[in-house]
Amino acid sequence: MSGVRQQKIEELCAATLRALTGDGELHYRGHLLHRGERPLRTYAPHLRIETERDDFPALRAAADGMALRLIHSDAALHRRNCPPDPVERLVFELLEQLRVETLAPEAMPGMRANLRERFAAWSRQFHESGITESSLGVLFHTVAQISWSRLNALPVLEDTEDLIEVVRAGIGPALGPSLAGMRRWRHDQARFAPHALELARIVGAMVRAEHEDTADEDNAARQENPRGLALLLDLDQEESEAMPLAASGESKTLGESAQGYRAYTTRYDAEVAAATLVRKALLREYRERLDACVARQGINIPRLARLFGAILAEPRRDDWLFGEEDGRIDGRRLAQLVSSPAESRLFKRERIKPAADAAVGFLIDCSGSMKGLSETVAVLVDSLVRALDMAGVDTEVLGFTTGAWNGGRPWQEWVRNGRPPSPGRLNEVCHMVFKEADRNWRRSRADIAALLKPDLFREGIDGEAVDWACNRLLARDAGRRILIVISDGCPMDSATGLANDAFYLDQHLREVVARREREGAVEIIGLGVGLDLSPFYRRSVSADFARGLDNALFFELARLIREPR
């Protein structure tokens, strides 16, 4: 499934979820459902979606299942009852999801059909993966089938009915009372839970006993069928991602602060032109080096320019077309009507031409961990700026770092004042301008090369930098304002983290991005360098720069820009 289609489907599913639950904060980010800034994971295996394989009905069914879970399941009660054993927890999670799916309204036959088809499709995938060839696999499959069948009062999947018949006959008497209790109390979560827990306990004991007898057989099955095993969700780990997910958390210091985020002092903060920090001779060397890197990359700049021009252009009136056969009467040609009554080209029409009406800002994380990737980032940004400039789009290139390591002068001042608690940001920020929006690429090409200077890279205060970059874009007269943040991790300043808590800067960044997204005046896109930044940026893309710059990244960024928020 293409990225554009995937995003459209997720937007439709999110709209459905908001309508069904009445919760306006539900949205998809990084292919996971979020409420506000918090991910909402489901551990029922049949609702686990693989975007590369599953189609729209599967995604819609997963959204319907999540909606019913949010409406009919008390999350706190479920967590209290959830068993610690991984196998028992897997079964308990599945049973709770199956319970809420039986509560789909009769007035919504489409939802009920979606859910039935999704469970059937998952059951077939489970069987076709080959995992049911092992004794444990067929046990899980049988438990899932008979639980779904009893709760919904429907027959088991016909495709595998013969396969599970022997196992069903063997475990049916042990599970019968629990299945009956679950069916009776499916409308009452509190009374349903004890029966589900008992069934999960019985299955867990069976699995442990079976595993001791068939460990070698199942290990071989796991090695031969990794995709099949993926259909059983590992509840002790987060869902796997192509890129590692940026770690983040809640800041106790920030949450308890009456005044919110603050800087201990802004006296030493600076905003500088990056080129002034590099000797002119060295800057020329950097530019020559960057030109060589761009040439080796083989980027088709004119093609990119046409692509961005088509994405960002808006129709605008551009003078008139005269001598037309229809349109508005051209008063200057009325005399021609008298002299040549047969003349019909007496009209004029507005000439409409597409023209770019956008401003794009690039905000680069100049923290120490980005130093080794500065050349690749410089090639990316230089190429994008040049292409956007050819397309008639205003661009600016900004960077953020700190004036010192480990706090610098603000930290020293805090120490002299007796180390008062919860001091806020304890470093001096340094915001750098590599290219201003009023200057084109040709006039700024040397300044952009300052990105290659190693000692510019120290630590990063991301939240304040995003605010600063957004304010600069708001000063531009443009129909669309887009900020692309290029970073390889979470905000980091050791002095601030030690004096407050580890997530002080993280939470501030999330709050800044969320506020700017609510305001809607600036669109923010996160470009994660070797890291998935979706915990911070709702619209994001990841790239592994350690392997070099992939030209496909340019088109992925174009896709994100093309799609409206």
Tokens 């800044």 belong to which residue? 512
List pLDDT tens digits, range 451-481. Answer: 999 989 999 999 999 999 999 999 998 889 9
Segment among 90-99, 232-241, 261-270 with least mean pLDDT = 232-241
Above 50 in pLDDT, residue 241? no
Look up tokens 């710059």; give the residue.
549
Q: What is the pLDDT of residue 228?
A: 40
Pair of tokens at residue 208: 């442990």
Element (H, E) at 314: strand 313-324
Choice between 308 and 234, residue whose per-residue pLDDT is larger:
308
| Percent of the chain surpassing pLDDT 90 | 41
Statement: residue 220 has pLDDT above 60? no
Mean pLDDT of 155-162: 86
pLDDT for 30 = 61
- Asked if residue 212 has pLDDT above 70, the reply is no
pLDDT at position 53 is 63
Decide if 257 contacts 425 (C-beta within 8 A): no
Closest CA to 7 of 15, 96, 450: 15
Q: Residue 52 above 60 pLDDT?
A: no
Global model pTM greater than 0.85? no
Cα–Cα distance list, 301 to 58, 436, 527 (Å): 39, 21, 20
Single-letter amino acid, residue 36: G
> What is the overall mean pLDDT for the chain?
84
- Which of 166, 170, 144 shows the shortest CA–CA distance to 157? 144
Higher pLDDT, 36 or 494: 494
Q: Above pLDDT 70, what percent of the chain? A: 87
**Contact status, residue 346 vs residue 335, Cβ threshold 8 Å:** no
Q: Which of the two residues, 551 and 401, has the higher pLDDT score?
A: 401
Per-residue pLDDT band at 224 (split at 50, 70, 90): very low
- Cβ partners under 8 Å of residue 503, min gap 6: 248, 249, 250, 251, 254
Least confident of 103-117, 193-207, 458-472, 535-549: 535-549
> pLDDT tens, 388-407?
999 889 999 999 999 998 88
- Domains in the chain, CATH or no CATH each: 3-229 (no CATH), 252-276+302-308+356-437+455-562 (3.40.50.410), 317-354 (no CATH)
Task: Give the residue-averaged pLDDT of 38-64.
Answer: 76
pLDDT surpasses 60 at 214 = no
For 518-527, what is the mean pLDDT? 92
Confidence category of residue 14, pLDDT binned at 50, 70, 90: confident
Q: What is the pLDDT of residues 325-380, one digit of tens each?
A: 777 777 777 777 777 777 777 777 876 666 778 899 999 999 988 888 899 999 99
- Nearest-5° angle of CA 143, CA 65, CA 171? 5
**294-323 pLDDT, tens digit each:** 999 888 899 999 888 888 877 666 667 777
CA angle (382, 388, 393) in 5-degree steps: 130
pLDDT tier at 538, thresholds 50, 70, 90: confident
Q: Which of 136-145, 146-155, 209-218 has the lowest mean pLDDT?
A: 209-218
- Give the other-Cβ count within 10 Å of 233's Cβ: 20
Beta strands in 36-135 (DSSP E): 38-39
Please tell me the predicted confidence (pLDDT) of residue 10. 78
**Largest distance between two CA atoms of the chain:** 106
CB neighbours of residue 166 within 10 Å: 11
Residue 226 above 50 pLDDT?
Answer: no
Rounded-to-10 torsion of CA 445, 450, 452, 458: -150
163 vs 413 pLDDT, higher one = 413
